[in-house]
Structure 1
Amino acid sequence: MSEATIVVDGLRKRFGSTQALDGMTFTVQPGRITGFIGPNGAGKSTTMRVILGLDRPDSGAALVGGQPYRTLRRPLCHLGSLLDAAALQPSRTARNHLLWIAHSQGLGARRVDAVIEEAGLQGVARRAAGGFSLGMRQRLGIAMALLGDPPMLMLDEPFNGMDPEGIIWMRGFLRSLARQGRAVLVSSHLMSELQDAASQVVIVGRGRVLADTAVADLLRTSSSLEEAYLKLTRDAVEYRAANGTEAAR
């Protein structure tokens, strides 16, 4: 699965006076889950948008299987993504939402029904998606990401809104994707879930990579991924409260 590789190489991006990306560089390898973590404003969302061709970098490149995403024919067959679970037409049923996207990629109803089953949506597939809980919308977003049976997936906060059963399902689902040889990039603030699921982690701050290493290596010097993360990002948070603790955004 050598084609199943996401390469981020020297990305720089400025929005006005804000340097959102400052040489962001890392690689997501096939057959593993790579966690993508950092404080608010670290550049995670901008990086993922650049990978998908939604934002253009000032310099550097992001390649999906060796090509820019925007040049791909039937891009969902190369990289499936979930950035915003709320990005749907609320009056459409879940199945019709997926059918609409599938038709844009030359995919048929049989594939739609397959991903509905894989995401555990059989019982609600003909309900309007606007009435879904956040956890169910996450599952619908996962189904959409799987439509093209892509060798690469990129998921932003997939655990959000999940109940305990959903979190367990998501953890096992991500592991199954990696076992199939897919490259999986997961952005999340839930360190405990990434510690259990990811084999590699990219920790970022202020638009650059602070660490790109195996989770097991971090745990040799820290009691948890959360502790290692806090050590590495202590100087990269957006701002701190008067007592020195990180302030909430």
Structure 2
Amino acid sequence: MSIVVDGLHKRFGSTVALDGMTFAVRPGLVTGFVGPNGAGKSTTMRVILGLDAADAGTALVDDTPYRSLRRPLRHLGSLLDAAALQPSRTARNHLLWLAHSQGLDGTRVDEVLALTGLTSVARRRAGGYSLGMRQRLGLAAALLGDPPTVMLDEPFNGMDPDGIIWLRGFLRSLAAEGRAVLVSSHLMGELQDTAHHLVVVGRGRVLADGRVSDLVAEHSSLEQAYLTLTRGAVEFSTREDVR
């Protein structure tokens, strides 16, 4: 398994963010991580990256805590917040700064700029990018280390229709290369025809974990499966970043 989450519990004050979250992400598949706002998706991803500490349970990348990995971008590439960049830097310089921290050079930077369709705007300041372009830049950063696992939090946000179509195909191509791809969303439609596997969550716990084909067979459609499984799993967070 590329990512293994086992029995995660997390509270923020009196708010229960994670309540035994458990699932695994497998190579060669796009795994959709879906649930309503407040379900615990972003908190789980932050725990995986060591940005938040779990009260109980474990989250491992390649059988190792992320913080213990040497050159972590070579193991797991992630995109949690497309706005997390220095707006005065060009896109290329933003990526060069990250690349140097991982022992990579400008050649790899130019490769990921081309992969994400940013070559023509690489020398523009990132602060002038639209949200959709910042999502592409975040994806380029996630791919810098050519990692076997990619984790993306709501990457469709800000994408125009053409961008959404492109991203769906791009995620499938990453999985076809043998990578494990974890993609969170609170909208089932964003993952339609993209995800091979779904982890449906609500109130900080897993509600369903299975192949898309199995969920469709059981519920007649993905949308119906989502509505049935998340019924009653309303937003419970008092913190904007606990999702």
> Is TM (by shorter chain) over 0.5?
yes
CA offsets 1:189-237 (integer angstroms, 9 cap, x no match): 2312312100100011111100001111111133431221111111211
Quick one: distance in 2 between partners of 1:189 and 1:178?
A: 21
Q: Which residue does 2:35 correspond to in 1?
A: 38
Quick one: distance in 2 between partners of 1:58 and 1:169?
A: 38
Q: Which residue does 2:223 correspond to in 1?
A: 226
CA offsets 1:61-107 (integer angstroms, 9 cap, x no match): 00001100000001000000000000000000000000011111111
Other structure's SS at 1:175 match: helix
CA contact (8 A) 2:34 2:187 kept: no
Quick one: distance in 2 between partners of 1:226 and 1:84?
A: 26
Q: Which residue does 2:206 correspond to in 1?
A: 209
1:49 to 46, 50, 72: 46
Q: Which residue does 2:7 correspond to in 1?
A: 10
CA contact (8 A) 1:129 1:137 kept: yes
2:29 maps to amino acid: R
Moved more, 172-181 or 217-226: 217-226
2:188 maps to amino acid: M
Q: Which residue does 2:196 correspond to in 1?
A: 199
Q: Which residue does 1:186 correspond to in 2?
A: 183
**Which aligned runs of 4 or more in structure 1 are off by greater than 4 angstroms?**
none
Quick one: distance in 2 between partners of 1:22 and 1:69?
A: 21
CA contact (8 A) 2:37 2:186 kept: no
Q: Which residue does 1:177 correspond to in 2?
A: 174
Q: Which residue does 1:243 correspond to in 2?
A: none
1:205 maps to amino acid: G
Q: What is the Cα deviation at residue 12 of structure 1?
A: 0.6
1:112 to 109, 112, 125: 109
1:88 to 70, 85, 88: 85
Within a 5 Å distance, the mapping from 1:127-138 to structure 2 comes to: 127-138=124-135
Other structure's SS at 2:107 match: helix
1:158 maps to amino acid: P
Q: What is the Cα deviation at residue 41 of structure 1?
A: 1.0
1:172 maps to amino acid: G
CA contact (8 A) 1:94 1:129 kept: yes
Q: Unaligned 5+ residue runs, structure 2? A: 237-242
Matched, 1:78 2:75: yes
Q: Which residue does 2:240 correspond to in 1?
A: none
Other structure's SS at 2:17 match: strand
CA contact (8 A) 1:13 1:20 kept: yes
Quick one: distance in 1 between partners of 2:224 and 2:85?
A: 37
CA contact (8 A) 1:195 1:215 kept: no
Identical columns (%): 76
CA contact (8 A) 1:99 1:108 kept: yes
Quick one: distance in 1 between partners of 2:222 and 2:152?
A: 19
Q: Which residue does 2:232 correspond to in 1?
A: 235
Other structure's SS at 1:184 match: strand
Other structure's SS at 1:30 match: coil
Q: Which residue does 1:166 correspond to in 2?
A: 163
CA offsets 1:103-136 (integer angstroms, 9 cap, x no match): 1111100000000000100110000000000110
> What CA RMSD, in Å, does the superposition of the two structures yield over aligned residues?
1.3
Moved more, 115-124 or 217-226: 217-226
